[in-house]
Structure formats: C-alpha cells, structure tokens
Amino acid sequence: MAEDELKFEPTMVREDKTARQLYEAVKANPARARFGFGEKLAVVNIDFQQAYTRPDLFPKSAYVTDPRQIEHTNTISALARAAGMPVIWTRVAYKADGGDAGVWGTRTDTPDSLQNIKYDSERHKFDPRVRIDEAKDLVFTKRMPSAFFESPLQSYLVWHKVDTVVLTGGSTSGCVRATGVESLSRGYRTIVPEECVADKHESYHYANLTDLQLKYADVVEAQEVMDWLKARAL
C-alpha cells in the first residue's frame, strides 16, 4: 500500500466535560499507580512573590486558587525543616532592560509583563505571609519557568541526597508544570500537594493537574505530605 493511501480518522478523545470534571475523574481512579515517597524529600516553593500572590496589588498577574495555599505551604516547609529535609524558595526577576528574559520576554511589554519584574521591586518581593528560614532555606531568583534551569537546585538536591521533590507555588500551568516535568526527567519522585498550587484560570489549573497526575507526578492532598513528614520529625 502506498504511503499516501494511509488515511486515518482523528482519534483524539472529545468529551463534554470541564477540565475540573476530567481531573476529578482521574483523581478518583484508585488503580492509578503512584511514584510514591522515597527516603528524603525537598520542598521546592515556586514563585511566592507579590507579582503572583497579591491580587490586591497586582490584579493582572496575581491569582488565588485555595485561600489557604500559603498556610499549607508554610506548614509543609516547617515540617520538612523539623525532619532535617531541605526547603527551597524561588522567584523571578530580570535586570533593568529585561534582556535576560530572552525570547520569553518579547511577546508583550506592559508594566505587568514578565520581563518587567525587576530585582528588589514590589513584584519581586516575597509575599510577607511566607515563612522563610534565611539560615536554613535555599533562596534564589530564576529567569525561566523551570526551577532547575540554570539554577543551583540540581546540585543542592544531589548534595542533600534527595530522591523526592515536593512542588508548591504557581502557576500550575507554568512554572509548577515545567519544574515537575524536569524533576521527573532528572529521576526524582515528584509530588504536588493540590492545595498548594494555584493558577489564573480554573481550566488551566485543572488541565495541568490532570496532566501532572497522569504523567509526571503524584497529585495528593497536602495533609498526606504533612503526615509523611510528621512521622519523620527528628
């Protein structure tokens, strides 16, 4: 049969369901195998900076999904420290001309644009509600979606003999997903506490939670991560 005679109808599944409904169906599947926890985890808290967490200050770029997101993230981070496990905080900023944003910074140029998050600006500052232990936690500014890209994260995890990465922060469809894909690609068991991640739109949030759950991570309730850490307190 000639190659040009091979013709197939589209096989992509189409369902009259919302992204949230599709996610809940996947979440309810008890047969879905997990990657699970390993021996030692690190908590990577992604971009809890005012540009993304303070809709009162920056309504065009900030988002709130679960009102207790930061509270849960602080609890998980404190429990990780108590268990002798590393906690990492990232945020995004660029130099004055935005040139280090690369092609990512070329699509728009407004006061709310990504490349216009400048070092030490109000948009760069961490949300005052987050609890960072400056003496213990690793804190760095990144330029691209993944927390692994051109950052000290990989070497830090190797030094601490980490085999499991817990991801919190935002956005679910952006930096959380990008970090999750790279985390799995680097051989880490990857866990996303559902209440600890957020996005601008419900559809983006749940569509990416579905994708993470099916392919790259275990999406679990925050309490499960807390319970695992409590059992390992030093």
* pLDDT per position as a tens digit, 181-210: 999 999 999 999 999 999 999 999 999 999
Please, what's the b/e burial string for 86-121 (b: 16 or more CB within 10 A of its CB; e: otherwise)? bbbbbbbbbeeebeebeeebeeeeeeebbbbbeeee
**Strands, E assignment, the chain:** 41-46, 87-92, 138-142, 164-170, 189-193, 197-198, 218-220
* pLDDT per position as a tens digit, 107-138: 999 989 999 999 999 999 999 999 999 999 99
* pLDDT per position as a tens digit, 130-183: 999 999 999 999 999 999 999 999 999 999 999 999 999 999 999 999 999 999
Per-residue pLDDT, 5: 79
Percent of the chain whose predicted confidence (pLDDT) is above 70: 98
| Cα separation of the two ends of the chain | 67
Structure tokens at 56: 């009162």
Catalytic member of 42, 43, 147, 175: 175
Please determine, for residue 32, whether its predicted confidence score (pLDDT) is greater than 80. Answer: no
Per-residue pLDDT, 31: 72
Q: Which fold has domain 36-230?
A: Rossmann fold (3.40.50)
Per-residue pLDDT, 2: 60
Please determine, for residue 15, whether its predicted confidence score (pLDDT) is greater than 90. Answer: no
Per-residue pLDDT, 117: 96
Per-residue pLDDT, 159: 98
Per-residue pLDDT, 1: 54
Per-residue pLDDT, 64: 97
* pLDDT per position as a tens digit, 51-97: 999 999 999 999 999 999 999 999 999 999 999 999 999 999 999 99
175 belongs to the catalytic site = yes
Please determine, for residue 6, whether its predicted confidence score (pLDDT) is greater than 90. Answer: no
Please determine, for residue 224, whether its predicted confidence score (pLDDT) is greater than 60. Answer: yes
